[in-house]
Amino acid sequence: MLVNKRLLQMTVGHRGRLAGVTALLCAITASYWLQAWFLAQALAALVLWVKVPEDHDGGTYGPLIPYLAGVLACGLGRLMLQQFHSRLASSLGSGVRLKVRLSLADRLLQPERLRDTSDRSGARRLALSEGVDGVDSYISQYIPHAFQLQIVVPALLLWIAWMNPLLALALAFAVAAAVGAPKLWSKALAKRGQHHWDTYEALSADFLEALQGMRTLKILHAVPRTRARLNDRSHQLHRATVSTMRTSLVDTALADFGIQAGMLAAAALAAIAVTGQGALPGPETAAMTYFLLMLSSEVFRPVRDLARQWHAGYLGLSALGSIDAAGGADHGKTSTIPSTSLTGTGTRTPEPGRAVEPPTTLALDRVSFRYSDADPWVLHEASAEIRRGGLTALAGVSGAGKSTLFDLLLGFLPSAENRIHMDGRPLRPSDVSVVSQRSYLFPGTIRENLRVVAPTATEADFRRALETAGLAEELQAWPDGLDTVLSEGGGSVSGGQLQRLAIARALLVDRPVLLLDEPTSALNTELAGRILAGLRRESTRRIVLMIAHRPEALAAADTVLRLDDGQLFTTWQPETATR
């Protein structure tokens, strides 16, 4: 079997384009056969024309122009076919690449994967990028060439057998050797290729993690050790690459041996037949001799093309294990994770300042969730009612399930038993804006970061949101104000400023529910008090729920929901309204 069955399965849904690419390749190869006929006739005519100089004015073999015109026409037709093939192959590769990446992204976002400590971002990134690109090359180039070889080579051998059976038999043995001999080396090559990919994956994972944790590494004085580990990974990858290349050269040598042996046999048999030294019949004319020699060469064109595409698509085979690992063991599993966008799940982003009917209550009615059937319940028939008009804090020990509850409210975690309603209707992800503990700021100005979520917001809207987030004084102190440039990830501002910018951005997303994960964790007591006061004012127009551990945050809340053993317990604090 020349084609990997697992990779062939990835073409489901694109079989029409795969058949089209294969058919175009067969037509391109057939154009070489027709060109060989015209060229053989032209060569024969030229030889006899030289031998009979009196036919200069035009004898039986004198006119070469029609044959040369046929050669040119074949070349032009092949050029057009190659253009169509290139476009269709690109379309096939793009379709498969998009399908595989979407499938992997969905599987990586399955609830059970969110807590999988064996997953490494660098390894998964490599599978989603270079791995899928390798699958593209294998499917759009190698598989059509493999199918083409199995179609056109037998057809051409039958045609040659009709003219010269012994020559066809010799060519068939040579093709079998060129295609089959490398299979003897396939296990060693597969082993080398898998080791090469594993070392490449390990280096990618270590490198990405070193970049993400560079600040921590510097604080812990661990940069030299990390540098040494990356250097060792690089040397391992170099050794694995060289080993794979050596094995691949043996593979190529075996294929070339079969091709060269076949060509030598074809030339010898043609010479024997044309000189009459053999008992078997050969071509009766010079044109037939030239034609058979050219067709013998064309038998190996698909073999050479397949070998070239094998090396181009080999990365897809090597990465197959990593792609399957990223997708999980169940390849047929369909994800139920909803799609998300930059401004949150869904597409509704009301304009700041627009009159919106404020919500009244957010109700959790016996909500249950666990990550898999083998895991304990994180939430088990938890119920609560969160009202607008007061600040609500969600408290509980570490690992109690507070972040899981937020993920359920955001729609990131699906649950068949999930019953969450706002004013009597199911809560939609587009109803919720959120400030996470590790908010990300994009490279650009403050204005651009805020405009990402509120394209139609005015200058006054921006300043009002920043004031509520406690950034009014910093905004006045920054020389460029809203045009202050931020580095990627917000590295040019302090942790507290980054946290407050994230709060301001969430306030601009005019949605009825605002979730905040530890909104005052990076702030001093004075700043935390300002933020909490601003959030209480905000709670008059939307439901505000925050995860809180710090005493001042819990004391400032009007209601505290405590999560314990999968249950929610409500504590009312009416005295906070007078503070």
Q: Where are the domains of the chain?
A: 5-327, 361-578
Q: Count Cβ neighbours within 10 Å for each residue of 18-36 and write b for 16 or more, e otherwise.
A: bebbbbbbbbbbbbbbebb
Centroid of chain to Cα 100: 7
pTM equals: 0.61
Centroid of chain to Cα 65: 53
Class of domain 361-578: alpha beta
Local structure of 61: helix, strand or coil = coil
For residue 523, the one-letter residue type is L
For residue 130, give the DSSP letter. I
Distance between CA 446 and CA 449 in Å, rounded? 5
| CA dihedral over 221, 226, 227, 228, signed as positive or negative | positive
Stretch (H or E) spanning 534: helix 525-538
Name the phi and psi angles at 563, rounded to 5: -100, 120
Distance between CA 531 and CA 77 in Å, rounded? 72
Local structure of 437: helix, strand or coil = coil
Per-residue pLDDT reduced to its tens digit, 85-115: 999 999 998 888 888 888 887 777 766 666 5
Token pair 């020389």 in the structure block, residue: 479
The total of other beta-carbon atoms located within 10 Å of residue 151's CB is 16
The total of other beta-carbon atoms located within 10 Å of residue 273's CB is 22
Could you tell me the two tokens for 219? Answer: 């604080």
- Give the pLDDT score at 13: 86
Distance between CA 340 and CA 199 in Å, rounded? 33
Distance between CA 494 and CA 474 in Å, rounded? 11
Per-residue pLDDT reduced to its tens digit, 387-444: 888 888 898 888 888 888 888 888 878 765 558 888 888 888 778 888 877 776 776 7
Per-residue pLDDT reduced to its tens digit, 108-150: 776 666 656 566 777 777 777 777 888 888 888 888 998 998 9
Q: Count Cβ neighbours within 10 Å for each residue of 471-489 and write b for 16 or more, e otherwise.
A: beebbeeeeebbebebeee
CATH 1.20.1560.10 fits 5-327, yes or no: yes
- Give the pLDDT score at 267: 73
pLDDT band at 194 (very low <50, low <70, confident <90, very high): confident
| CA dihedral over 351, 357, 361, 362, signed as positive or negative | negative
Cβ within 8 Å of residue 555, ≥6 positions away:
573, 576
Contact 134/321 with Cβ under 8 angstroms?
Answer: no
Per-residue pLDDT reduced to its tens digit, 174-191: 888 777 766 666 677 777
Per-residue pLDDT reduced to its tens digit, 6-42: 888 888 888 999 999 999 999 999 999 898 888 888 8
Per-residue pLDDT reduced to its tens digit, 214-267: 765 665 566 787 888 889 988 988 888 888 777 767 667 767 777 777 777 777
Local structure of 364: helix, strand or coil = strand
